[in-house]
Amino acid sequence: MPVSTAIIGTGNIGTDLLIKIQEKSKTLAVAAFVGIDPGSDGLARARQLGIPTTSDGIEGLVAMDVFDDIEIVFDATSAGAHQHHDQVLRSHGKRIIDLTPAAIGPFTVPVVNGDANRNEANINMVTCGGQATIPIVAAVNSVAKVHYAEIVASIASKSAGPGTRANIDEFTETTSQAIESIGGATHGKAIIILNPAEPPMVMRDTVYCLCEGGHEAAIREAVEARVTEVQQYVPGYRLKQSVQFERLGSNQPLYIPEMDRQFTGMKVSVFLEVEGAGDYLPTYAGNLDIMTSAAVRAAESMAEGSFAP
């Protein structure tokens, strides 16, 4: 029997989660779809699919007949709302997958630290940039110590809703922290670019790692293997070109202002593209698709008892 889940938040992310689970997951089923706007497109779609809905928020969810059977709850609302949702849901013994910037639970990227976090009551899915780039930083760090990692996430302006635009600072801070705590870099930096190009561009991510030691072949193999792992749940995740290397010698060191030091060693550059699956969101919205895909994978892994792809 599929594990019963609920989704709180009926916007783009919540609705994409709904479609992904209902159409693709063999492990999960949506038992309740929860919002606060009775006229939202997401609630209308859920009703068409025959899924129980409520527009009374978390209180409405708790009052639903199906609530006792629900094991996992996705929260696709806001950081402020999640604080309250977490308290209510934990008091009822529910497990939570947080897609907001609240970060009450540990940062989780399924292919990197999913196994370590699969028994947590609440896990946080970091950011879209984090889900796309932290697997690469961690892969490089597994074979060559990463002292500095910088990521640049470029997304279509049309795929950045009000929530994304209001939380740019949280994006950079959260992603930078996770580059260090999950990716293993001594220092991490994140940059996001909203590109207004028409037609809208798919998500592009650039990862720069400054490493000590390591061999090019080993780094390239680790990165390519990690890309294959992520593709198991995000098929549109791919390398745009081969991994690039540059040696920085003592005759021309690179100064890193954030670390206030000069760096010598190896610079690794990885260029990625993330195309969405087009389940509910347009294919150019890979930034949103990788978040929902990672969240579904995390929930399936909780249900299966392992995060292995």
Please identify every residue annotated as catalytic.
128
E strand or H helix that includes residue 173 = helix 168-181
DSSP state, residue 200: P
Is 74 in contact with 295 (CB distance < 8 Å)? yes
3-state secondary structure of 37: coil
Angle between helix 216-231 and helix 128-141 axes, rounded to 10 deg: 140
Amino acid residing at 52: P
Handedness of CA 26, 49, 76, 192 (dihedral sign): positive
* Angle formed at CA 35 by CA 29 and CA 40, multiple of 5 degrees: 100
Is 6 in contact with 76 (CB distance < 8 Å)? no
Burial class of residue 232, CB neighbours in 10 A (0-12, 13-18, 19+): middle
Which one, of 237, 148, 158, lies nearest residue 184 by Cα?
Answer: 148
Alpha carbon distance, N-terminus to C-terminus of the chain: 20
E strand or H helix that includes residue 211 = strand 203-212
E strand or H helix that includes residue 89 = helix 79-91
DSSP state, residue 93: T
- 192: its two tokens: 């996001």
